[in-house]
């Protein structure tokens, strides 16, 4: 699968370091302008990038930026392309209201834009910008744009509430509610709910390579967490964190490690309020009622 796109690149004038590259989906030579460029701190030009095979490692900073765009515009699903070495290719950037600059140039930029009656705002200092500053996918709601990084994959019908967070190379495949943390490598299936304050252990957690996921019509309760995958129609009760090594009592009394249940459908994980033991019972999505469809018609 060969992909080719033209992008508009910003580079630091003094060092020539690439700060970002924007790839319009219509593959046009579109020009951006910002105050940091006006005052000579950065310069823009056009660049063409070709990815011959999605399983090849990113070959350049511009190549890495193209891959993040492909994920957020839903051209590729999470884990559908190679992102090995991406942190070494991306630059730490101050993302500001006057454009991207190297962090050491912020004070200079602040002084220069004062002549334009512009009060500089620094949104973050990071390798990854906000997704919506580069890609705005259709049919989604994002309560706080700072909490969805470029490279996030949000399926149509997804709502990310203000406390929700979706990292790069992670996201949803359709209608979903995200009020917790969806970390790199994690995929959430259609009609599932990632509850407030909850967390899904991803590929960057402890250097792990396991790709955890949540299936369809499943619920990860408020302040809960998983270090395993959930299949379809599963529930993890509020406040319960299930790691791969968590000892879980089955309905027949047998005790197994939670990793043996990873990816299975129709399971309810709960903590016995009297004994404190983690138990698993058969269940389905009717136990929690499913998504409110009115909340996920976002067009």
Pairing of strands 241-242, 225-226: parallel
Beta carbons within 8 Å of 114's beta carbon, 6+ residues apart: none
The count of other CB atoms within 10 Å of the CB of residue 214 is 27
Q: Which helix (H) or strand (E) holds 225?
A: strand 225-226
d(CA 165, CA 152): 10
Count CA atoms closer than 13 A to 210's CA, side-chain side: 15
Helices (H), ranges, the chain? 35-38, 61-72, 86-89, 106-113
**Residue 4 pairs with which residues in a beta bridge?**
50
179 is catalytic: yes
Per the CB < 8 A criterion, the answer to whether 232 and 219 are in contact is no
- Catalytic residue selected from 73, 175, 179, 237: 179
Beta bridge partners of 247: 257
Q: Are 292 and 271 in contact (CB under 8 A)?
A: no
Q: Look up residue 166 and give its two tokens.
A: 């979706």
Distances 233 to 2, 173, 236 between C-alpha atoms, Å = 37, 15, 10
Q: Which residues are identified as catalytic? A: 179
């Amino acid at each position: 699968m060969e992909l080719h796109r033209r992008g508009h690149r910003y580079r630091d004038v003094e060092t020539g370091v690439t700060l970002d590259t924007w790839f319009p989906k219509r593959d046009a030579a579109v020009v951006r302008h910002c105050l940091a460029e006006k005052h000579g701190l950065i310069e823009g030009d056009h660049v063409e990038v070709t990815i011959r095979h999605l399983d090849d490692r990113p070959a350049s900073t511009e190549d890495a930026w193209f891959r993040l765009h492909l994920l957020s515009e839903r051209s590729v699903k999470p884990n559908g392309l190679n992102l090995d070495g991406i942190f070494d290719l991306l630059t730490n950037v101050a993302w500001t209201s006057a454009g991207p600059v190297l962090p050491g140039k912020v004070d200079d930029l602040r002084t220069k834009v004062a002549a334009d009656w512009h009060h500089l705002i620094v949104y973050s200092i990071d390798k990854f910008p906000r997704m919506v500053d580069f890609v705005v996918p259709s049919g989604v709601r994002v309560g706080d744009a700072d909490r969805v990084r470029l490279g996030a994959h949000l399926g149509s019908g997804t709502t990310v509430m203000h406390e929700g967070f979706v990292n790069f190379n992670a996201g949803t495949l359709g209608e979903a509610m995200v009020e917790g943390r969806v970390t790199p490598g994690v995929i959430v299936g259609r009609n599932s709910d990632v509850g407030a304050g909850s967390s899904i252990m991803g590929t960057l957690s402890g250097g792990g390579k396991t790709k955890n996921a949540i299936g369809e019509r499943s619920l990860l309760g408020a302040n809960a967490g998983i270090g395993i995958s959930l299949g379809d129609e599963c529930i993890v009760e509020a406040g319960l964190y299930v790691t791969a090594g968590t000892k879980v009592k089955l309905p027949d009394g047998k005790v197994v490690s939670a990793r043996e249940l990873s990816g299975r459908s129709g399971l309810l994980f709960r903590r016995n309020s009297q004994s404190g033991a983690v138990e698993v019972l058969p269940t389905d999505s009717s136990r929690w009622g499913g998504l409110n469809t009115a909340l996920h018609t976002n067009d």
